[in-house]
Amino acid sequence: MSIFRYLTVSLLLSVALTYAAPPKSGKVRLVIGDVTFQKGGQSKWQPLRVDAKVKEKDRIKTASESTASIAFPDGSIVAVAELSEVEFAQLLFADGSQISMIDVKQGQLRFDAQKQKPGSSFKFKTGTATCSIRGTDGIVGVTKSGQSVGSLNSGAMDMEQDGQKVEVKANQFVAFRKGKPPIIGEAKNAGDPEFMKKVAEVVDDTTKSDADIIAAAKALDKEIEGNKAKLQSKYSCKFSKIPPVISMNAVRIEATCTEGMEVTISAETQKSKGSRLIFTPSWEKGAFGEKKFIATCLANDKMFECGRLSTLYKIDRKASFGKSDQDKCTVDYTTEGFDENKGSLKFSKGDSLIQELVLDVDASGSFNLIPGNHTYTLEAVNEGSDVGKVKKSFKCYPSTEVFIEFKGGDEEVVYRKVSQGAFAYPEVEFFLRNVAGNDPSQVKSVKVTSGGKAVPVKLAPSTGSWLTYQGKLRLPRNKITTIFVDVEMQNGKKLSGTKTFELR
């Protein structure tokens, strides 16, 4: 029987397989002033409310001194600035990965994006420019004349327009002017909404040169930095530490802030009365990875950053072996940590991978074992960690129709001349056929005797699908000698056979 038959793994899931998660929508967390939205494919505009869902092709429009903040499934936040209009051209979330494209039709959009997982895509369209981010916070938008601008507080962003690609880094801003190379400038407050609002106005001034725009941005940055320093000397927040690693899809953030200031974290705003504030940002269960939280404070009608916190959201996948059956050659297993945490489950013998399963739900089932006594590894794959790996040895001794066959038949006559002596030493050779996997470890013992004495035999190389045993027999002349072969298999089965020899 071929060993490859035993390499086939039978998966018996105790739960039904699930399909990929359906697209998820964004959720409105904050609305200030006059904000309206338009459902995809419709022409009617209606007031936007907190907790409303934002789906693909929906549009949001803000009036003067109005804004709206939308939370994405992974915890990312986008805030539509005043006098702006955006379309959520694409919004998908499945298997922990997010794919989104937001088209800024008018005005500006502030974003605080979580670190993007492999397979995710977080993009913006501003006029004729496209922007790709990789987990960062900043602003993108279009000026009143339709020119694309962008800036960053942290991280990195690629902006491209008309074949001109710019990598924007932390504390930088970029402006694409029609018919000219893009302008890139440095500013500590590049991601400040007031800074970008005024920079956009300067960019639209056709009388301004590139140098004029850079100079105006530097002056504005210096002014905002001075105002911020004054505010921070009077207003501040102290945050309690949050755990570096969490396994829940929400975190509790506690802050004690100066009385009178407004504090916003993940689009949740609270006004401080001098006592403790509690924020509870949350996200979808499958959105694993690093999570950062930026606290912005408002005091004297001026907004400034007043804190940054971060944690790592992860759930370790685990697997364990259960009962094994050495006769049926199966071993049970169970998993945990796979629900909404899609990943690989590997089953190996030594360094050889037997089967790899991709699970998005916790499961229990069984694997087939390979004949013999082997060490197996069951690994619930966790990136950069062996926490989900277990090793254990299992025996596989299936019941097969094993039988003994003697070379030359059950009777053999050996001819020697009298002059050659009173004894002959013929070779004893027999085969064990139908041993599972042709594996010697399936055999517990082989005993060969003749006349009450042991006849030594050893396992010999075999050219076929059987086990070959060989030895030497002392055979006296003119006497029938019988050998007895007794075999015990690991599965408990016992076999016996006899053969007679005669020297003539």
* pLDDT surpassing 60 at residue 18: no
Give residue-wise pLDDT tens across range 28-71.
999 999 999 999 989 999 999 999 999 999 999 999 999 999 99
Summarize the confidence of residues 197-201 as an average pLDDT.
Answer: 95
Confidence grade of residue 98 (pLDDT, cut at 50, 70, 90): confident
* pLDDT surpassing 70 at residue 14: no
Give residue-wise pLDDT tens across range 101-151.
999 999 999 999 998 877 788 899 998 899 998 779 999 999 999 999 999
**With contact defined as beta carbons under 8 Å apart, do 175 and 182 qualify?**
yes
Confidence grade of residue 20 (pLDDT, cut at 50, 70, 90): very low
- Count how many residues are written for the chain: 504
Q: What integer pLDDT is reported at residue 16 of this predicted model? A: 31
Strand partners, 321: 333
Summarize the confidence of residues 190-213 as an average pLDDT.
Answer: 94
What tokens appear for 425 in the block? 């030493």
Domains, the chain, ordered by start:
26-234 (2.60.120.1440), 238-313 (2.20.130), 315-396 (2.60.40.150), 403-503 (2.60.40.10)
Summarize the confidence of residues 413-431 as an average pLDDT.
Answer: 91
SS3 string, 358-423, reads EECCCCEEEEECCCEEEEEEEEECECCECCCEEEEEEEECCCCCCEEEECCCCEEEECCCHHHCCE
Which SS3 state, helix, strand or coil, does residue 28 take?
Answer: strand
Summarize the confidence of residues 434-461 as an average pLDDT.
Answer: 93
Summarize the confidence of residues 400-425 as an average pLDDT.
Answer: 92
Supply the mean pLDDT for the chain: 91
Give residue-wise pLDDT tens across range 347-391.
999 999 999 999 999 999 999 999 999 999 999 999 888 899 999
301: left (phi over 0), alpha (psi -120 to 50) or beta: left
The helix (run of H) or strand (run of E) holding residue 174 is strand 172-175
The residue type found at 63 is A
**With contact defined as beta carbons under 8 Å apart, do 427 and 460 qualify?**
no
Question: How many whole angstroms separate alpha carbon 467 and alpha carbon 485?
Answer: 14
Confidence grade of residue 24 (pLDDT, cut at 50, 70, 90): low
Q: What integer pLDDT is reported at residue 340 of this predicted model? A: 86
What tokens appear for 172 in the block? 């930088």
The helix (run of H) or strand (run of E) holding residue 194 is helix 193-203
Please give the model's pTM, rounded to 2 decimal places: 0.75
Summarize the confidence of residues 456-473 as an average pLDDT.
Answer: 93
* pLDDT surpassing 80 at residue 404: yes
* pLDDT surpassing 70 at residue 22: no
Question: Which strands, in side-by-side order, build the sheet including 253-257?
Answer: 237-239, 253-257, 276-279
Which of 12-16, 273-277, 306-310, 487-491 is least confident? 12-16
Question: How many whole angstroms separate alpha carbon 296 and alpha carbon 71?
Answer: 16
Give residue-wise pLDDT tens across range 248-266.
999 999 999 999 999 999 9
